Amino acid sequence: MSDQDDFGGLSSSEEDEFDDDAGVVAGRSVFGDEHGEPAWGDVGTAESSQLTGSEPRLQEADPQELGVWTDHTSAPQWDESEETLPPMEPQEPVGEALGDEDFFGYEDQSTYAGVSATGPTGVVSAERDMPMAVLVGVFLSAVILVALQVGPALALVVATVVLGLAAVELLSAVRVAGYQPAVVLGLAGAVTMPLAAYWRGIDAIVVVLVLTVVFGALWYLTGVGVEGPMRGLAVTVFAVAYIGGLGSHAALMLKIPTHGTGLLTAAIVLTVAHDVSAMAIGRAAGRTPLSRASPNKTLEGLLGGAIVTVAVGVVMGLVGMPAPIADGPGSFWTAVLLSVVVAVAAPIGDLAESMLKRDLEIKDMGSLLPGHGGILDRFDAMLFSLPATYYVALMTGVI
């Protein structure tokens, strides 16, 4: 084996000795001036010399360039040249880079502050159609009150229809957002759950939820749903639990002999009192934003709605209506406790639905109710008030 190794035209020998006292010029090879480092302008000289058989010819280094090489290290260097790059044009952020101002730019149908509604063209108007909203609200209240007066069976039918329409709205909204839920299965679960709860009690809610998971898995395994089975199944089960599971507590109250309709009436009265008062106070005096989930809702509206709700609970306790919340032993404090719980649960339900709409980037869940949006937009707070009322009654011994 030769004593010399070829490094691209540069050779060295084991007998080579280096003079420690010899000056080393920056930018030159320590093996001698004849093999100095190529200048930047002669990149590839050494390689080309191998092809031609001639020795590489190096240019004389510019003294000004030697100063640059003297400071050269492996660390990053600032470009101190006078040449400046043109300013970059700002790019509009997309996706998750959107700021809060852009993401929450459109108006929300608020409960606590000034309310805006989306017209048929999708353009947000400055004010909600209050006369139409009041008219629709009065009509809904009349239907519910008549159903409660007729009896539990009719009230159950009305509750089931409301929950079914709300489930359709939610499942349709998530499909528009790109999810692929099992719509038929989700609707069946949301409608079956209150009927099963009225028939067999609270255990039936768990049974329907388990069956939803099982048949949901079969839905995607058999190829009925082919895209995104994980996300699709999760959204389907969530819709059944959110709409059917929470809403089924209306059926559980209606199942209670004698006073079931009275218990449900108490939940409805307190929730409506909170919604209406919070909206009115928020519109009149709202200044402090409450939550990023719904920027138009205000702290003043929340507090005002809570005070009015508790006041209504006090009145219920004093007059002894409706039964069984307000006409039994210790009924006054039971009614007050229930009003406090509803004052907490109702705004959480409202904000939870607003959060879902923000995530789906939609204004309303539907447009079935003029001045309100969709069914779910109107009954979002009620979904949380129903289980709150049922479990307060259960823990206080009312039922």
Query: Binning pLDDT at 50, 70 and 90, where does residue 76 land?
Result: low
Q: Judge if 384 and 271 occupy the same domain.
A: yes
Strand segments (E) across the chain = 5-7, 10-12, 289-291, 294-298
Q: In angstroms, rounded to a whole number, what is the distance separating the alpha carbons of residues 258 and 322?
A: 12
Q: In angstroms, rounded to a whole number, what is the distance separating the alpha carbons of residues 314 and 326?
A: 10
Is residue 331 situated within a structural domain? yes
340 beta partners: none
Residue 126 has pLDDT above 90, yes or no: no
Q: In angstroms, rounded to a whole number, what is the distance separating the alpha carbons of residues 264 and 242?
A: 19
Question: Which two three-digit tokens encode residue 328?
Answer: 């039994």
Q: Judge if 251 and 322 occupy the same domain.
A: no
Comparing C-alpha atoms, which of 386, 140, 164, 162 is closest to residue 271? 386
Element (H, E) at 200: helix 183-200
Q: Judge if 337 and 323 occupy the same domain.
A: yes
Question: Which two three-digit tokens encode residue 301?
Answer: 């509206």
Most confident of 15-29, 101-115, 197-211, 368-382: 197-211
Domain boundary among 210, 229, 255: 255
Question: What's the pLDDT score for residue 86?
Answer: 55
Per DSSP, the three-state class of 225 is coil
Q: What is the pTM of this model?
A: 0.67
Which single residue is written with the structure tokens 């709605």? 305
Q: Judge if 265 and 251 occupy the same domain.
A: no
Count CB atoms within 10 A of the CB of residue 130: 13
Domain boundary among 204, 237, 255: 255
The torsion of the CA quartet 350, 353, 359, 362, rounded to 10 degrees, works out to -100
Domain that holds residue 233: 150-255
| Least reliable range by pLDDT among 161-175, 239-253, 312-326 | 312-326
Query: What does the pLDDT average to over 284-310?
Result: 87
Is residue 366 situated within a structural domain? yes
| Average pLDDT of the chain to the nearest whole number | 75
Residue type, 176: V
Cβ-in-10-Å burial (0-12, 13-18, 19+) of 53 comes to exposed
When divided into structural domains, the chain yields a total of: 2
Cβ atoms 197, 178 nearer than 8 A = no
Q: Judge if 229 and 284 occupy the same domain.
A: no
Is residue 203 situated within a structural domain? yes
Query: Binning pLDDT at 50, 70 and 90, where does residue 283 land?
Result: confident
Q: Judge if 292 and 384 occupy the same domain.
A: yes
Q: Judge if 268 and 357 occupy the same domain.
A: yes
Residue type, 262: G
Q: In angstroms, rounded to a whole number, what is the distance separating the alpha carbons of residues 105 and 117?
A: 14
Per DSSP, the three-state class of 179 is coil
Query: Binning pLDDT at 50, 70 and 90, where does residue 149 land?
Result: confident
Domain boundary among 209, 236, 255: 255
Question: Which two three-digit tokens encode residue 374?
Answer: 């969709």
Q: In angstroms, rounded to a whole number, what is the distance separating the alpha carbons of residues 48 and 43?
A: 10
Query: Binning pLDDT at 50, 70 and 90, where does residue 297 land?
Result: confident
Cβ atoms 354, 293 nearer than 8 A = yes
Question: Which two three-digit tokens encode residue 367?
Answer: 């447009």
Q: Judge if 324 and 384 occupy the same domain.
A: yes
Query: Binning pLDDT at 50, 70 and 90, where does residue 322 land?
Result: confident
Question: What's the pLDDT score for residue 141?
Answer: 84
The DSSP result for 270-285, as a single string, is HHHHHHHHHHHHHHHH
Q: Judge if 180 and 233 occupy the same domain.
A: yes
Count CB atoms within 10 A of the CB of residue 349: 21
Question: What's the pLDDT score for residue 352?
Answer: 94
Q: What is the CA radius of gyration of the chain?
A: 37
Q: In angstroms, rounded to a whole number, what is the distance separating the alpha carbons of residues 378 and 355?
A: 15
Residue 49 has pLDDT above 50, yes or no: no
Query: Binning pLDDT at 50, 70 and 90, where does residue 128 land?
Result: low
Return the percentage of the chain with pLDDT > 90, whole number. 41
Residue 398 has pLDDT above 90, yes or no: no
